[in-house]
Every structure is written in C-alpha cells, then in structure tokens.
Structure 1
Amino acid sequence: MNNDDTPHPGWLGPWLKGFPASQSPIPIADIGRRGWTLQGAELPTPLAVVRQRALAHNIAWMQEFAAARGVLLAPHGKTTMSPELFRRQLDAGAWGLTFANVHQLRLGLAAGVRRALIANQVINAAELAELLELRRRHPGLELAFFVDSQAQLDLLAAHWAVLGANEARLDVLIELGTSRCGVREHGPALALARSLKTHPALQLRGIGFYEGLQVAGDSEPDRMLMQQWQARVEALLTDIETEGLIEVQPLWLSGGGSALFDLVAPVIAGRPGRLGLLRSGCYVCHDHAHYGRYMQAMDARMGTPLGTPSLQPALEVWTQVLSCPEPGLALLNAGRRDLSFDQGWPVPVWHLSGGKRAKAPAGWQVTGLNDQHAYLRWDPTEADGPAVGECVALGPSHPCTTFDKWAWMAIVDEDDHVVDAITTQFS
C-alpha cells in the first residue's frame, strides 16, 4: 500500500489523528508488531488509548454481573460505535447490542450483530424501508424498536401502505418515560398496546424504559426511584398479559443506563416467558469521574469489599504540555475536539517523569478546555507542575463523547506498549 493520506477500510494510516504522519498505512491487526510505546517518540499527541487489562476486566465483570442477576446484556453500541468492541462484547456473551437509530443498526449488523434493540422512536418512511431491507438481508435477525404515541403508529401505518409491504410485522417495545421520550401515563400506554394488536406494520414485543435522567447518585432516593419504575412496569405488564396483547414470545423487558444498573436489574430480571435486557453501555471503558461516582454508590449497595475491583477506567487521552506561561498553569495540546466535557472536565491521571509513567499529583486539575487546549492548574506553593514537552494523560468524565472524537484508539498493555487498536464509526 502506498504511503498516502487516503482512508482505506481495515487499515490505519496518516489520515487519522494520533497516527504517526511518517508511517506507511498498516492493517489494524499489525499495529501490535510495530513496537510502539507511549514512552517512545513514534506516536504523536494527542492520542486516545484504551487500557487492555481494564477493558478485558470490565467486559468480563459486567457479563458476570448480568448472569448473576438473571438479566441479559444488550449493551448500547452508541457508546463506542466500535466494531472491534462490539465483537469483544458479543464474544463474551452479550445477548445482542442496542442502538439509537437505524444507521447505527446497519453498522452493527455489518460487525456481526444479529440481535438488536433500537432504543428510540422510528418514524419516517426511509427508516422503515431500511429496516425491512435489513431484515431481508439478514434472515433470523431479532429486532425491536420503541414506540410511544398513537401519532407514531399512524405515521408508520401510512408509510407501510405506501411501501406496499406484504410481510411479517416489525416488533416494537412500548417506551415508558418521564422526562424524555416515552408514554407518561398508564392509560395511554395500555391504549397503545391495544392499537398494536391490529396494527398493519407493528406487533408488540414488550416494554422499555430509561431511568438515567432521574438518577440522584444517593442510594435511598435511587431505590425509591426504581420502586416507582417497578410498580409502573408491572402494572402495565399485568394489563397487557391479562388482555392477551403480546403476540410474540418471549416478552422483552428492557431498561438501564450506566449509572444505576444494580437497581435496574431486579426490575427487568428474567421470569418465565420474559427476557430482561440491560442496555448499559459505558461499562466497557467506564470513566474517571462521572460514572466513577455512581459506581462507588453501586459498590456500597452491592457490598463490594473495599479494594475489590468492580469497573475500572480504561480510556485515556495522552497530551503534551505546550506552554507554562505563568506559575500554576500549563496548557496541554488537547481540548474539546479530543475530550468529553459534557459531564465534567477530564481528570489528570498520569504523567511521564524521567521517562517513566507516574500518577499525576493530587493537586493537578483541569479547569477548562478550548477547542485544542486544556488548562491544567495547580497550587505552585504545594506541588510541582509539568514541564514544557512533558506528557500528561487525561481521563475523561463520561466516555461516550470522547469516543466520537476519535476514528481509532490504541490499545496498550500495563507497560504502555501498543498491542492492538480499535476503530469507531460515528461518521
């Protein structure tokens, strides 16, 4: 392959941020043979990396958690949109994957997904037509999406008629909600279930919900929250089953973001004739702040012994110091184009001191981001700062919106050697 700047599927090359500009393109599978290391001079910064050991631990831990709680994992693929990570999750035993739209589903199917949820509303004719085409192209595909209004059902019936579809109806879950999408009251939700009984395009498969926008991070309010959700879900299920409105078995019951999955699992846990599908996605790389705080509360509720690893932060963005223009301030060469900032600033995790990786001093903190700069501050009377040119690794708070800023990420071992890579498909 020529050393050019043209993207090639399945290859990494200098068209990608973080890839060495002077290196020839290489297949993803070959990156571990290059001998690259975070302590070396081969890799430019900023550079997104995933810790191999933490990644493997998180995938195995979450799979064990789900099995112990009687639920199945349908991790949200929008977190990473990485075919390599999809494969790792499926190989570890995930039931399937969840997506936010039909476009993401199509990419997931190309990566080998054969069971899927679209945890969102499908409303337009183009999406409906694509779902039908994807189902034809992938025989045996198990798929359902969310519905939450009669208006949506009417639109899809009209689209179905225009398409002239003459095949099996598509499965849907009624979404219950409070502050985002989702039916607000029991009566309208039951009315939707009755409408689906005779709908030309859709058939009822189960119920879905998302509790994440209401999480307090405090155990007692969060327990009360999930008790309310359980009462609401069970009331609707009772009426649906009493009236015989479920035509497809087993029934799918799905919930769960990444902040409260220990309390969500009992609400959806599998019973005869039901599958509980947990949609948590951020567990795969966890984070260094936002979900880390929620995990502390979950560990306390689950009685996890102190020092016993539950989920571990696996994602880092390595940067270098561009300038130290005044005491207590360093400007790093990564910013909003490289790191998430929607759930808090990134956290200094490591720095290279004397060519060796060391923990970042406790007094270091990122106080802001520009497009290409991070503001690292410390009290110069209490701690030393990094020098110009020194590497500083930042741990994102909320991994989702860091993944979408990188087309590839290096996977590194505990000695900081690059051993593998993943790609993402956000665009």
Structure 2
Amino acid sequence: MLVNVGTTYELDTPALLVVLNVMERNIERMARRFRAAGVGWRPHTKGLKVPQIAARLLEAGAFGVTCAKVGEAEVMANAGIRDILIANQVVGEQKIARLLSLLPRADVIVAVDSPENVDALDRAARERDVRLRVVVEVNTGMDRAGVEPGEASIELSRYVEQKPGLHYAGLMGWEGHTVKIADPAEKRMAVRKAVGLLTATADDCRAAGLPVEIVSCGGTGTYLITSGLSGVTEVQAGGGILCDVVYREQMQVEHEFAATILATVTSRPTPCRIICDAGKKAMSSDAAVPRPLVEGAVKSVRLSAEHAAIELEEPRSHVADPRPRQVPLTADARLSSSSRGPAAGSRRRRHASVTPASYGRHASHSRRGERHVSVMRASRQPQPPGRASRQRHASVMRASRQPQTAGASVTSASRQRHAGVTAASCKRHADTPFLPSAASRARA
C-alpha cells in the first residue's frame, strides 16, 4: 500500500533519490551480460541495502545475494531472500549466534580464512544442531583477507570438510586491487591473473577430492571480464545498478547514474558560491568530489560535515533550482551514510513511503513521472516516543543493532503493512526518468 506524503519539494533534505527507470536499465544490462556468459549472478547488496531492490535483482536473474556483514544478511533474510553469501569472516560469539539464527529460514554461506574461525563456527553450529555452509576465502592479490592460493587453501578446505557442523561449499576471492587500472588491456591481464589463482586453486581442491561447488568472485569494476573467465561459477557485482562517479571515471563501467543526493540551497554568500545542506554525512566521508547537477560550470566542491560549498566558474545572480542534486562519488557508502531514517518519494508528483532496508530506508517514487527511491537522514526525522511507537517504527532502527529473529519487533505483518513498492510495482510504474545533465554523463 502506498501512502501519500507530498511532492519532491516537500521532502526533507538531504535525501538519496534513486531513479528506478535508470536502475532498471542498469539491471537489465548486467543481467544480459551474465546470461550471455552463462555464469551465476550473486549481486553484492552492501551498497544497495533495500530488500525490494534485491528482490528485483532476483526477478532479473540473480539466484542469491552477497552481504558484507550479519546485519545486512538479517535484513535480507527477514525480507524472504534465502540464498545469502556473507563475503567476510564472522567472528565472536554474539555475531556467530546471530548468523546461525538465520538458519534454516535462509540458506546462509559465510567465508573463512583461519582454523580458529572454522572451529568457532563448527562448535556453535553443533550446539544448535544446524549445519552451516562455508567457503574458503582465497587471497588473489588484494592482500586483505584470505589464505594464500594453492596448498594453504587446500589444507583449510580439508579442515572445513572434516567439521560435522559445517558444509564445505567451495572458494571465493576478490580481485579488488585491479579495479582502477586505467589501461583496459593491462586491467584485463591483471584480472585474469588474479582470478586464475582462484580457479586454479579450485581445480587443485577438486583434484584432492574436495567438492568445490562455488567459485565466487568479481564486482562491478571487473564483471565484464570475470563473467567470461572459465571456472568462475558466480559473480558478486551489484553496485553497478546504481553506478557513480568512481565506477564511470575510474573503473570504466559505462552505466547510467541512477542515484543522486537531493539537497537544499541554504546560502548564497557570493554570486559564485552555492551552499547546500548535503555534506560528508549525507554522501560518506570519502565522497570528496561529488558531481553537482547545477546550472553553470562548477569550479570546485568542498564538503564539510553537513554542507557542500559549490564554487562556480562564472557568477550567477540566482539559482534556478533551489533543490539541486549531486551524484555521489562512491556507491557502497552512500546508502549507509545518507539513509539512517525513514524516507519518501513520489510518482507523478505524489509521494509514498514504503519498507526500509538495513538502516531504515524507504523505497518510493518521485515527481514528474520519475520513479525514485528516496532515503532521508534520521536526524531530520523526529522519532515517535513510547514503546508501542518504537515497535510500530522498528523499521527505522539499525538492523545490526536489532538482531531480527522470529520474535523480533519487525514481524511479517509489519513488513506486509509497509510493503508499498515491490519489484512488481517497479515494473508497473515505468515512467520517463530523470537523467543527469550532459556534463554529469561524460564518459571516462
């Protein structure tokens, strides 16, 4: 059910707007690539957050999702998504207990890279009489987490296979060190080398008698290459459905911008300077150079905690649009930083709110026939008092701080009450999209 909450100009700012029409085109572009390559698609949702968007990805051909942590997996599982890979190590009794509480309503897989973590997961699983699927993370050159390829990965895989509380599912890796290589031929070679370490280790594991079902890798910055490599069973690319400045200009991902930050002009101290209310807290601390969609050439942008200072090349006596939008620099942090509370959006100038995601996001539609997801800062939204109100509004609480179990305050009934924009409605309401200015669409 959609609940009318006004027009775009009645939205509080800063707010994250996602143009669903543009997002749909990006989804189809990626899905078409994976279908043609004959490889599975398990999109990473750490930068997407919204379960309705994840459901739309499943409709488009993805068979599961990837999450960065237990809190994100809880949100996806609560929304009915079953096949979930946590592409990180889960350590500590509390987090392991939350992880295992997702079974059996979700088929969760977790990455490991040490015998100690394997022991902890196995012990906790046996205590709860469940069996947890596990993949061994292989370091393919990024030098973050993961065991070394070859014999070390085989040994840890054998160790997992021996544990009665665990089910060995295969291997995963991430060639993140290759994504920003500028030269296409050099990048292709680097990706092939990194992924080759993973697939060769998978072959060695099979030769050692280990049942390698999953060989998972890739991201938006490399999916055009990894999807075509032999031995890869699934690719984790997800952020490309929204796209951003880094993907376009530093990773050679030719997708459209689907997400912008809506702001309000709060000051015009000089004819060349525009101050608006979307700063680092709205766009993430690493979003040093967002792309403002304002009239006139932009000379520079400076971000403070709550403000953006936009310097124009030429003076302008007035600002045509008092609610300018900015394309965020990075994909993964934008929903996390911009969306810590309830939100709204519209379709044909009528706005509606819907179920939030991990940190309380609401999906919706936007003005002039443009379909948007809009996410607003909780600090701008006063929270209703009282225990009953807290239960009614449990959707605005951080999932990572509220483990969602069968008895959690966010029940199936409450999810049904708030489910206003489903994947089906995303299809039904396809209208003319808002497109960034020509300057903002400049290719790398």
* TM-score strictly above 0.5: yes
Structure 1: distance between partners of 2:346 and 2:334: 17
Structure 2: distance between partners of 1:418 and 1:290: 30
| 1:255-334 aligned within 5 A | 255-267=217-229, 276-287=233-244, 289-294=245-250, 297-298=252-253, 311-334=255-278
Check if 1:375 corresponds to 2:309: yes
Structure 2: distance between partners of 1:422 and 1:290: 29
Q: Structure 1 runs of 4+ off > 6 angstroms?
A: none
1:339 to 276, 283, 286: 283
Check if 1:227 corresponds to 2:177: no
Structure 1 partner of 2:113: 148
Structure 2 partner of 1:398: 330
Structure 2: distance between partners of 1:389 and 1:60: 32
Structure 2: distance between partners of 1:132 and 1:341: 33
Check if 1:237 corresponds to 2:222: no
TM-score after normalising by structure 1: 0.75
2:64 to 91, 96, 118: 96
Contact preservation (8 Å) 2:102, 2:108: no
Relative to structure 1, is the Cα distance of residues 292 and 408 closer, same or farther in structure 2, using a 3 angstrom cutoff?
Answer: farther
By how many angstroms is 1:327 displaced?
A: 4.1
Structure 2 unaligned segments of length 5 or more: list them: 360-397, 399-444
2:160 to 196, 213, 216: 196
1:33-53 Cα deviation digits (max 9, x unpaired): x6x444x4x333333211121
Structure 2: distance between partners of 1:269 and 1:185: 15
Farther off after superposition, 149-158 or 203-212: 149-158
Structure 1: distance between partners of 2:253 and 2:70: 33
1:341-386 Cα deviation digits (max 9, x unpaired): 415421012x4xxxxxxxx33x215521112110101122xx6364
The number of equivalent residue pairs is 355
Q: Which structure dedicates a bigger proportion of its chain to strand?
A: 1
Structure 2: distance between partners of 1:316 and 1:59: 17
Relative to structure 1, is the Cα distance of residues 58 and 119 closer, same or farther in structure 2, using a 3 angstrom cutoff?
Answer: same
Structure 1 unaligned segments of length 5 or more: list them: 1-26, 271-275, 300-310, 352-359
Q: Which has the larger radius of gyration?
A: 1
TM-score after normalising by structure 2: 0.73
Structure 1: distance between partners of 2:349 and 2:317: 22
1:159-188 Cα deviation digits (max 9, x unpaired): 45xx63444x32211111232111134221
Check if 1:69 corresponds to 2:37: yes
Relative to structure 1, is the Cα distance of residues 72 and 412 closer, same or farther in structure 2, using a 3 angstrom cutoff?
Answer: farther
Relative to structure 1, is the Cα distance of residues 417 and 261 closer, same or farther in structure 2, using a 3 angstrom cutoff?
Answer: farther
Structure 2 partner of 1:180: 144
Aligned identity (percent) is 25
3-state SS, counterpart of residue 135 of structure 1: coil
3-state SS, counterpart of residue 107 of structure 1: helix
Contact preservation (8 Å) 2:271, 2:316: no
Check if 1:48 corresponds to 2:21: no
Relative to structure 1, is the Cα distance of residues 343 and 334 closer, same or farther in structure 2, using a 3 angstrom cutoff?
Answer: closer
1:164 to 121, 127, 151: 127
Structure 1: distance between partners of 2:30 and 2:319: 39
User: Match of 2:261, as an amino acid?
Assistant: V
Check if 1:129 corresponds to 2:97: yes
Structure 2 partner of 1:80: 48
User: Match of 2:214, as an amino acid?
Assistant: W
Q: RMSD across aligned C-alpha pairs, in angstroms?
A: 2.6
Structure 2 partner of 1:209: 173
By how many angstroms is 1:422 displaced?
A: 6.3
Check if 1:30 corresponds to 2:3: yes
3-state SS, counterpart of residue 228 of structure 1: helix
Contact preservation (8 Å) 1:226, 1:267: no
Relative to structure 1, is the Cα distance of residues 369 and 298 closer, same or farther in structure 2, using a 3 angstrom cutoff?
Answer: closer
Structure 1: distance between partners of 2:74 and 2:176: 26
Contact preservation (8 Å) 1:99, 1:119: yes
Contact preservation (8 Å) 2:149, 2:201: no
Structure 1 partner of 2:358: 425
